Every structure is written in structure tokens, then in C-alpha cells.
Amino acid sequence: MEIAIWTFIVFILIALFKTLKYENNNAVYNEEQLIKRYFEIKNINPDYRISSLRDWEVCAFNVLEKRANSKTNRVVHLKSIDNIK
Amino acid sequence: MINLELGFFIAKFYLAGYFLCFLMSYKNKQKNLSNLIITTIALVNCIFNQYLKEALGFYTFYLGAAFQILILLLISLIIHLYFRIKHKKTTLVVYGLYLVIAISFMVLHRVRVVVFDSDEHILWLINAHSVLTLTLYFLSVCVLAYGSKILWKSQFGRSSSLF
């Protein structure tokens, strides 16, 4: 009986380490939640990702235009991403 | 052995502590579901334990206690895997505490039943062991409370607004 319990302890330790190794793969656990979150955002604002890309394009274009004139301000400001809260 | 009245008082105190942890982690279930699972199983085990310890005899008392704790860990692992819930660090600390308690139960069972076959000569060891296990249970209650409360502030905003 005691040997059975000791083997049970070892078995649970092995199961614990196997579980932690399996959980270490974050993608398996986060993929479903990320997809759900993506569709939530899509339902709220279908244009969300496209608008942020458009803002980034405008900013990048402005920066490229101004680069010839001024050498100081070369940072691309991501307006839509800066305001995320 | 400890006084029976003191023992019952400690048992009530710990039951209340587990129940408080259960309520707190139920409120916090969206952020730390892992803590809710381990707290619920521990609370059920705590209540069931009061009935089971009368049924166990001299030779199976500490063996049954160790077996119960290991079954607790196994059920928790199965639930985590089945529902695909990721373990939090506080849950792993509680697992470690419970494993230490189970191993200490097994060692005490070995010494009491196989080596001495009586309680008279090793009362000091049983006293020390009860102090150790009660301390570890208290630490586990503290860790459960910490795990239920640590993430409350993130309900009011995402981490990007903190910096």
C-alpha cells in the first residue's frame, strides 16, 4: 500500500511536469482567445485594423516627405496605436 | 497530540479561511480561474475530510491523508487539462506545499506504523509534524488569498495605461 502511494507521488510529479511542459506552448492556449478577441473588435469597428494601417501610411508618407527638409524628426508617430488604452 | 478543543478551533479557523478564499477567488474568476479551481477542490476536501477521518483507523490514518492530498492534485491537474486552463504561479506554489505535506504524511506513517507500531514513543514527532502541516496549510491559505487578490487592479484598465 505504501509503495503504491509512493508510486502515486512519483506519477503525480511526472504528470505535473508533463502538464507544465505542455502549457509552456503558449500558442495552443492563446490562439482561440486571440481569434475571439479579433472577431469582437471586428464586430465593434470593422475598419479598426485598416484605419490604423491607413494612419500609419499617412504618417510614414509625411515623414518621408519631410526627411529631405529636416534631419531632426525622423520618428514615425503611430497615432492610432499611441492612443490605445 | 494537540488538545481536541484547540484542534477543532483550528479546523474551524482554516475552514473559514478556505471559504473566504473561495469567495474572493470566485469574484476574481475572470482573471485567475486556476486559483478558483484549486480553492474549490481544497474546500470540498476540507469538508469531506471531517467525515473521513473518523472512518480511518490507526493503520490507515496518515496513509489516507496523503492519498487524499494526492487525489486533490490529480483532480486539479485533470480539470486544468480538460478545460485548457493555464496554471498560474500561485497555484504551482500551492501544489508544492501540498506535495510537501503529502510526503511528510507518508514519512510519519512509515515511522509510526512500521517502525514503532504505537503512538507512545513518538508523541514529540507527531506534535512536531502537526505543527509543520498546520503551518504549511496556513501558508497555502495565504498563497490562495494572495492569488485571488493580486490581479484585482488589472480589472480597471489594461497594463498599457499603467505605464
Predicted pLDDT at B58: 81
Q: Which residues of B82-91 are buried (b: 16+ CB within 10 A; e: fewer)?
A: eeebbbbebb
Q: Considering only CA atoms, give the Rg of chain A.
A: 25
CA proximity to A40, closest of A52, A27, A49: A49
How far apart CA A30 and CA A56 sit, in angstroms, is: 27
Distance from the B6 Cα atom to the nearest Cα atom in chain A, whole angstroms: 30
Q: Looking at this predicted complex, what is its ipTM?
A: 0.73
Q: How many CB atoms lie within 10 A of CB B127?
A: 12
> What is the model's pLDDT at position A82?
61
Q: Is the pTM of this model over 0.90?
A: no
Residue B95 forms contact with A (CB below 8 Å): yes
Residue numbers of chain B with a pLDDT score lower than 70: 1-2, 150-163
For B106, the closest of A6, A12, A85 (CB atoms) is A6
Does residue B35 contact residue B148 with C-beta atoms inside 8 Å? Answer: yes
Chain B residue with minimum CA distance to A82: B160
Q: Which one of B71, B75, B83, B86 would you mutate to disrupt binding with A, by most A Cβ within 10 Å of its Cβ?
A: B86
- Compute CA B96 distance to the chain's CA centroid, rounded to the nearest angstrom: 10
| Site of grid cell 488589472 | B154
Q: What is the pLDDT of residue B12?
A: 87
Which of A1, A28, A85 faces B160 most closely, judged by CB atoms?
A: A85
**Which positions of chain A have pLDDT values less than 70?**
26-29, 67-85
Res B69: pLDDT: 93
Q: Which residues of B touch A28 (CB under 8 A)?
A: 84
A20 neighbourhood in chain B, CB within 8 Å? 87, 92
Q: How far is B162 from chain A (nearest CA, A)?
A: 9
CB B134 within 8 Å of CB B101: no
* CA distance between the termini of chain A: 58
B77 exposed, middle or buried (CB, 10 Å; 0-12, 13-18, 19+)?
middle
The CA distance from A17 to the nearest CA of chain B, in Å, is 11
pLDDT at B141: 93
* The pLDDT value given to residue B36: 93
B81 neighbourhood in chain A, CB within 8 Å: 19, 22
Rounded Cα–Cα distance for residues B95 and B85 (Å): 16
pLDDT tens-digit readout, A14-32? 999 998 888 877 666 677 7
Grid coordinates belonging to B30? 475572470
